[in-house]
Amino acid sequence: MSSTNEIPPVRALEAVEGAYLKAIAEATPVGVRERLGMTAAAVGDGTVLALRDDGHALFNRASGFGEPVTEEVLDRIIEVFRAAGASSATLKFAPSVVPAGLGAARGLTPQPATVKVVRAAGRVPGAPTGLRVGPVSAEDEERWLRVVLDPFDEPPPLLGDVLGATFRHRGSRRFGAWDGDELVACGVLFVDGPTGVLKSGATIASRRSRGAQSALIAARVAAAAEAGCRWVVSETAAPEPGRRVTSLDNLLRAGFVHAYDYVNLRWER
C-alpha cells in the first residue's frame, strides 16, 4: 500500500482469508476432523470450510473471493455445506464481487456488515503498554487457549480443538501479552504470500484497558513485514450509529484504513 493509502486489489485482500480457512483444516488432526465432520473445499477462487458439528456457526464459512461470485458458484458453496451436514454458515463477500440480490432465491439472510481494514506491513509507532509483549512458544499453547476462550461463558466443545490447530499451523505467528508471569492477552498473525491477517485477538476481562491489543497489533504488523508481507488486513464489527467499537478504534490508531464493508449472508439448512 502506498503512502497515499491506496487500497490493494480485492483479490489481494481476500486470498489470505481463504488460505486461513484452508489452514484450519490442514492443521486439524485427522481424528479431530472426522469427529467434527470438517472439510475444506476450493470453490471458484474462494474457500469453504464446513463442519457438521458447528451449531454456533463459528467456523462454517465461505470467504476469500476476489472474483465475481456467480449463481453457479453460490450453488456450489451451498452444496459443500449440505454435503458436510452443516446446519448453518456465513458467506462473506467483498461488495465488489457480489451482485445485488445474490442468494435471495435461496433464502440466504443478510447479516450485519463487518468492516475490512488494511495497512502496509511495517512499524507501528506509539503503542505503549506496561505489559510484556512477544511471541508465544509451543509450550504456552494451553495458556494461550485459555486466554482465547476467556470471553466465552461456555466455550463450544470444538472451539479449543480448532483454535489449537491454527496455533500450530506453519503460517501462524502467535503473540501474547504478559502481566508478570501471567499470559493475559493474545493474537495471531497468519501469513499467506504478500498478505498477513490478524486473527484471534483476546484479552482476559480483568486486564483490559491496559493497551494489550494495541501493542499486539503493532507487534504483528511488524512481524508481517519481517515475514515478507506487503499488507496486513483485519476484520471487526461495524459500529452502530453513535457507538464506538474498541477493536476498530485500535486498528485505525495503528494506521489501518477502511477497505470495505463485508456483505455477510447466512445460510441455514
pLDDT tens-digit series, residues 243-269:
889 999 999 999 999 999 999 999 998
CATH architecture of the domain with residue range 119-260? 3-Layer(aba) Sandwich (3.40)
Listing from the earlier edge strand, what are the strands of the sheet with 172-179? 132-135, 172-179, 182-192, 195-203, 231-237, 114-120, 257-261
Looking at residue 149, its pLDDT comes to 84
Looking at residue 102, its pLDDT comes to 79
Q: CATH 3.40.630.30 region(s) of the chain?
A: 119-260
Looking at residue 13, its pLDDT comes to 95
List of the chain residues with pLDDT < 50: 2-4
Looking at residue 164, its pLDDT comes to 82
Buried b (16+ CB within 10 A) or exposed e, 183-217: bbbbbbbbbbebbbbbbbbbbbeebeebbbbbbbb
Looking at residue 2, its pLDDT comes to 45
Q: Is 147 within 8 Å of 155 (Cβ atoms)?
A: no
Please state whether the predicted TM-score (pTM) of the whole model is above 0.75.
Answer: yes
Looking at residue 155, its pLDDT comes to 72
Looking at residue 5, its pLDDT comes to 58
CA distances from 46 to 65, 126, 152, 264 (A): 4, 36, 29, 15
> Checking DSSP bridges between strand 88-93 and strand 61-63, what pairing results, if any?
parallel
3-state DSSP assignment of residue 25: helix
